[in-house]
C-alpha cells in the first residue's frame, strides 16, 4: 500500500486534469495550471524512474506526465482559459493543502510521496538543497519562482475578459 497510493503530485494533477477536461471549470484550471505544469515539467526533465526502457512503466511515466502538460496547454491555448496572479495564490494554497494531506499519508504508511519524508534515494535536483526538513521550505520558494515563470506568458498576451463556462 505504501507504494501504490495515488499520492504523488503528478498523479493527483493527472486526476485533476481529467476532472478539468470533463467539467471545464476555470477554477480547476487555475489550480492545476501552476503545480501541474511545474511538477510534470520537472518530472520529465529529472525523472525518478523505477523501471527502464522498454518496460511499460517507463512509457507510462512519460505519457502520463505529457498528458498533464497537454491537458493544461489545451485549456490555455485552445479554450483560452485565463490565468491571473490570484490564480497563482489559489494554486499555491491548494498545493500546500495537498502537501499537508500527503505528509499525513506518509506518516501513516511510511511512504515518501512528494518527497516529503526524505529526498529521493537516487540523484536528483533535491541534492542541491539543504537537509530534511529544510529542503521542503526551500521547495516552497522554488515553487513560487516556478509559478512566476509560468505566469509570464499570461502577462505578455492580452487575455479575454469573459469567463468560461463553469467559472467560479
Question: Is 107 within the bounds of a domain?
Answer: yes
Q: Is the pLDDT of residue 20 over 70?
A: yes
| pLDDT, position 59 | 94
36: containing domain? 9-156
| pLDDT, position 157 | 80
Q: What is the rounded distance in angstroms from the CA atom of residue 66 to the CA atom of residue 4? A: 21
Specify the number of domains making up the chain: 1
Q: What is the rounded distance in angstroms from the CA atom of residue 58 to the CA atom of residue 74? A: 24
More confident residue, 10 or 57: 10
Question: Is 165 within the bounds of a domain?
Answer: no
Question: Is 4 within the bounds of a domain?
Answer: no
Question: Is 68 within the bounds of a domain?
Answer: yes
Of 71, 81, 65, residue with least CA distance to 25: 81
Question: Is 166 within the bounds of a domain?
Answer: no
pLDDT digits (tens, 9 = 90+) for 27-42: 999 999 999 999 999 8
pLDDT digits (tens, 9 = 90+) for 28-83: 999 999 999 999 998 898 887 777 889 888 999 999 999 999 999 999 999 999 99
Q: Are 128 and 69 in contact (CB under 8 A)?
A: no
Per-residue confidence band for 1, with pLDDT thresholds at 50, 70 and 90: low
| pLDDT, position 163 | 55
pTM equals: 0.87
Question: Is 66 within the bounds of a domain?
Answer: yes
Q: Are 91 and 35 in contact (CB under 8 A)?
A: yes
pLDDT digits (tens, 9 = 90+) for 122-148: 777 889 999 999 999 999 999 999 999
Question: Is 1 within the bounds of a domain?
Answer: no
Question: Is 119 within the bounds of a domain?
Answer: yes
Q: What is the mean pLDDT of residues 6-21?
A: 96
Q: What is the rounded distance in angstroms from the CA atom of residue 80 to the CA atom of residue 38? A: 19
Amino acid at each position: 500500500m505504501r507504494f501504490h497510493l495515488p499520492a504523488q503530485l503528478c498523479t493527483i494533477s493527472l486526476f485533476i486534469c481529467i476532472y478539468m477536461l470533463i467539467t471545464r471549470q476555470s477554477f480547476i484550471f487555475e489550480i492545476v495550471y501552476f503545480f501541474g505544469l511545474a511538477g510534470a515539467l520537472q518530472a520529465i526533465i529529472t525523472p525518478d524512474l523505477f523501471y527502464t526502457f522498454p518496460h511499460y512503466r517507463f512509457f507510462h511515466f512519460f505519457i502520463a506526465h505529457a498528458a498533464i502538460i497537454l491537458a493544461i496547454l489545451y485549456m490555455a491555448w485552445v479554450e483560452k482559459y485565463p490565468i491571473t496572479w490570484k490564480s497563482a495564490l489559489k494554486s499555491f494554497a491548494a498545493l500546500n493543502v495537498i502537501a499537508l494531506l500527503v505528509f499525513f499519508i506518509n506518516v501513516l504508511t511510511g511512504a515518501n510521496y512528494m518527497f516529503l519524508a526524505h529526498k529521493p534515494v537516487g540523484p536528483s535536483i533535491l541534492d542541491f538543497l539543504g537537509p530534511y526538513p529544510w529542503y521542503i521550505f526551500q521547495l516552497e520558494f522554488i515553487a513560487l519562482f516556478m509559478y512566476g515563470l509560468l505566469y509570464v506568458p499570461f502577462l505578455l498576451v492580452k487575455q479575454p475578459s469573459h469567463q468560461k463556462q463553469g467559472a467560479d
